[in-house]
Amino acid sequence: MGKLYTLDGKKFLEKVGIIMSEETVKSILEKLDKANVTCIDYAYYIKDNEMFEDSYDYCDEFDKLYDLLIFKMYVKHGIDPYDDNNSFNKFKKENGKWVAEWFNPMELTIKIDDILDDRISTKVVEVLKE
């Protein structure tokens, strides 16, 4: 018979929150994949290799991904989300994998899977704190 592990209420809620966040992120990325969307910025997106500017069709998805990935990462690592020196730009597919890309620091990209698994190097955290 397997062991039964218990968590206190706070740890349980944190674990459930992490799982729900990850599932939400994956659900959004699957939706984008099904629609053949390969890049979303706040004011444009790329679908079937065509850019749609001044379109806010995927603003909700962008906002949710930003909150669940970028903002959470900033808070967890003590990075000021309102610092102009780290300007987040977009989510895009690169070599078949979804990544988060910054405008500043110039062309910094982090794989979404690395953000979800909290595999952010101390060097990247330091760069974002500068």
- For residue range 29-84, list pLDDT tens digits in order: 999 999 999 999 988 999 999 999 977 889 999 999 999 999 999 999 999 988 88
| pLDDT for res 4 | 47
- Report d(CA 15, CA 81) in Å as an integer: 24
For the chain, give the mean pLDDT: 86
3: in domain: no
Over range 3-32, report the average pLDDT: 67
Neighbours of 41 (CB within 10 A): 19
Residue 125: pLDDT band with limits 50, 70, 90: very high
32: in domain: yes
Q: Which residues of 42-65 are buried (b: 16+ CB within 10 A; e: fewer)?
A: eebbbbeeeeeeeeeebeebbeeb
> What domain range includes position 68?
9-129
More confident residue, 106 or 17: 106
4: in domain: no
Count of domains observed in the chain: 1
1: in domain: no
Instruction: Return the residue matching tokens 């906002």.
Output: 63
| pLDDT for res 16 | 41
